[in-house]
Amino acid sequence: MTVTTEWPSGLPIGDGWVETEGTTDVVFPYDGSLVARAPLGTPELAAAALDAALAAAPAMAALPSHARRAALMRAHDTLRDRQEDFERLLVLETGKPLVDCRVEVARTLVTLTTAAEEVARLHGETVPLDLLPSGEGLVGFWTRRPVGVVVGITGYNYPLLLAAHKIAPSVAAGCPVIVKPAPATPLATLWLVHLLRDALPAGAVQLVTGDVEVGRRLVEDRRIGAVSFTGSAAAGHAIARNAAPTKVLLELGSNAALVVAADADLEAAADAVVRGGYYASGQACISVQRVLVEEPVREAFLSLLAERVKDVAVGDPRLPETRVAPLIDGPATDRVLEWVAASGAEPLTGGHRDGRAIAPTVLAGVPDGAAAWDEEIFGPVVCVRSVPDLDTAFAAVNKSRYGLHVAVFTRSLATAFAAIERIDAGGVVVNEVPGFRADNMPYGGVKDSGIGREGPRFAIEELTVTRMAIIRP
């Protein structure tokens, strides 16, 4: 099941494509068949990309706004014209169901257009310097300038979209960017980089594949301006340490909670848990993992949830009806099943293999201290716990070391605003899945879920620095 690439061979480094000595197999998680042999980078190639990016920085900073916007829109238009091809490629390299890959491409298109629009809004302000007598007669204003070379490191679960979250704001801000995709899923990102390179200065957008040593070579270089990483908390912490004192933007993991109040629309809440817990086969940082239900509606809610889980289609991700497919690889599957077994909870549904996949799983009564509750499971597993009241629910949500997105289902406006005020997370979503995300909003977490915000407008601010001008005429 090999795929013919739509870009030159090798890695896009400097002003060309550099052949590599090694390759790595990209396999289809559904059946283990070979999709492609991807070029394998090295620390030496990472160093070459850094040198090329630094050389490109002056030209990128000076690139007119219309040229940056045009480059992003050109990539958008080409991707839109080849949308189905990108969707099929993502299914093959990630193993995600087709429905989720369609969402990924659609969101990538929004990210590119939003970043292009934000180019026109990169501006500064005048500052009244005469608030002090010594400032009388001075003229002051500030502008935004590119932070410098950006290193973007992405995860395997949404490779195209996560790369766009790094590349599009960097280009809009006038920063050269080097992307390091996850080793298992480099193909769609290679294609996206190819779409952008012709319209930008040489070395403005590059990609290097490889292992941890490649990543370390990129983030430890003191000449770069920022590192933007999406992945696990443990990896993000290591990158922050290795990159210091360089600025880091970290979009890390979570164990997203969904609170069901006694007055909630239980059918809508059950639908949301199924929709939010099993999309992308559970391999999303804001998949529903922890469900806290007020005790009076526990049994009714569990009954509704169990009925809905039965209808979740498991199987071939290429089929439009599939909602859960095999995880990225065997070790990921083994780990999830180990966490389920170690939870001490009896699965209400699932908890076992369904072919190479994991059957959609619901665990009831998982205690604190169990990895399936405390950590990010990254699989099709939902844990349900009853609580006596909303105060207990909010306290349980906040007890986690994570804080990305949390959902609350209620008919009460007072409860909704109490949740928004009291829950410690980057986003609180009322009567919708915690995984709801628009790519033009500030997205990010608190605590071990990261630092900084994505979404083109907000990422562009992160990737620029203010420059103050003070003039005595």
What does the buried/exposed string (b/e) look like for 296-327 if buried means 16 or more CB atoms within 10 Å of the residue's CB?
A: ebbeebbebbeebbeebebbbbbeeebbbbbb
Distance CA 369, CA 314 (A): 30
Contact 370, 344 (CB under 8 A): yes
CA torsion through residues 406, 412, 415, 417, sign: positive
Which residue has 């629309």 as its token pair? Answer: 265
Catalytic choice (251, 294, 375, 376): 251
CB 365, CB 385: distance < 8 Å: yes
pLDDT of residue 2: 63
Place of tokens 């990609």: 207
Tokens of 216: 């370390």
- Residue 118: strand pairing partners: none
pLDDT recorded at residue 274:
98
Give dist(CA 339, CA 283) in Å, integer.
15
What stretches in the chain show pLDDT beneath 50? none
11 phi, psi to nearest 5 deg: -110, 140
CB within 8 A of 237, min separation 6: which ones? none
Q: Is 383 considered catalytic here?
A: no
Please give the full DSSP string across 48-103, using - where no structure is assigned: HHHHHHHHHHHHHHHS-HHHHHHHHHHHHHHHHHTHHHHHHHHHHHH---HHHHHH
**What's the pLDDT at 466?**
97
| The token pair that represents 275 in the structure block | 């929709």
In DSSP terms, 127 is beta-bridged to: 140
Catalytic residue among 285, 375, 454, 461: 285
Within 8 A by CB and 6+ apart from 439, the residues are 107, 110, 111, 114, 165, 455, 456
Q: What are the Cα distances from residue 332, in Å, to 53, 336, 359, 388?
A: 35, 6, 14, 35
Do 462 and 453 contact (CB within 8 A), yes or no? yes
Q: What is the pLDDT of residue 1?
A: 58
> Coil, strand or helix: which one is 252?
coil
pTM attached to this predicted model? 0.96
Query: Which residue type is seen at 435?
Result: G
- Count of other CB atoms within 10 angstroms of residue 374: 18
Q: Which residue has the tokens 């950006």?
A: 150
Q: Report DSSP letters for 315-380, one per residue.
A: S-TTSTT--B---SSHHHHHHHHHHHHHT-PPEEE--SEETTEE--EEEESPPTT-HHHHS---SS
Cis peptide upstream of residue 245 (ω within 30 degrees of 0): yes
**Cα(170)–Cα(175) distance, integer angstroms:** 5
Task: Look up 93 and say whether it is catalytic.
Answer: no
Q: What is the pLDDT of residue 4?
A: 67
Chain centroid to CA 349: 29
* Residues of the chain by 3-state class (helix, strand, coil), percent to 5: 40, 20, 35
Query: Hey, which residues does 39 pair with through a beta bridge?
Result: 23
- Going 188 to 189 to 192 to 194, the CA torsion angle's sign is negative
Look at residue 439 in the predicted model and tell me its pLDDT. Answer: 84
Pairing of strands 177-180, 205-207: parallel
pLDDT tens digit sequence for 400-432: 999 999 999 999 999 999 999 999 999 999 999
Site of tokens 């395997």: 156
E-strand stretches of 375-423: 381-387, 402-403, 405-409
